């Protein structure tokens, strides 16, 4: 069943002057591009612009608060809703991107949030293996760390240093 999250304003970034501005798209496959992709995910914004209609999102079985495979843009909304049940102020900030061929990229992503009940702020770095199609995220596999995502992509860890 499909469940919708309420739309929120577009996430913005601060400039040196402190003025907020929308995150720019950048060139496909670059760190800036993936920051643009994740900006509206953090705000449950207009996902269709960034996520392919047939997207497949596979969460790591170890991921707290959500599990399994989600399909379509509504599936992305479903996983955001699940995560939102236990967390507030969720944000994903890509820190590093590595192209691994065939429109596939491994991202090292800083994930931050605040426990809904406890108010405790937590954060960790995850690995995301992403495939693009038609300029949008077509597949996202979430791993609990960068090294696991690199291995899943068939990258020799000694090459990633």
Mean pLDDT by 10 residues, the chain (161 residues): 29 39 79 88 71 94 80 90 86 95 96 92 95 96 96 80 50
* Digit-coded pLDDT (tens) for 41-56: 755 557 888 999 999 9
Instruction: Give the pTM.
Output: 0.79
Question: Please, what is the average pLDDT of the chain?
Answer: 81
**HEC profile of the chain:** CCCCCCCCCCCEEECCCCCEEECCCCCCCCHHHHHHHHHHHHCCCCHHHCEEEEEEEECCCCCCCCCCEEEHHHHHHHHHHHHHHHEEEEEEEEEEEEEEECCEEEEEEEEEEEECCCCCEEEEEEEEEEEEECCEEEEEEEECCHHHHHHHCCCCHHHCC
């Amino acid at each position: 069943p499909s469940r919708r999250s309420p739309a929120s304003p577009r996430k913005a970034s601060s400039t040196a002057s402190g003025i907020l501005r929308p995150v720019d798209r950048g060139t496909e496959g670059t760190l800036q591009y993936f920051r643009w992709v994740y900006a509206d995910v953090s705000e449950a914004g207009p996902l269709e612009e960034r996520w392919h209609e047939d997207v497949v999102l596979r969460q790591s079985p170890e991921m707290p608060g959500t599990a399994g495979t989600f399909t379509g843009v509504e599936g992305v909304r479903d996983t955001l809703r699940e995560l939102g049940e236990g967390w507030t102020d969720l944000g994903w900030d890509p820190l590093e991107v590595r192209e691994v061929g065939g429109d596939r990229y491994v991202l090292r992503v800083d994930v931050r949030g605040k426990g809904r009940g406890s108010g405790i702020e937590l954060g960790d770095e995850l690995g995301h293996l992403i495939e693009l199609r038609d300029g949008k995220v077509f597949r996202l596999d979430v791993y609990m760390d960068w090294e696991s995502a690199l291995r899943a992509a068939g990258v020799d860890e000694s090459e990633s240093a």
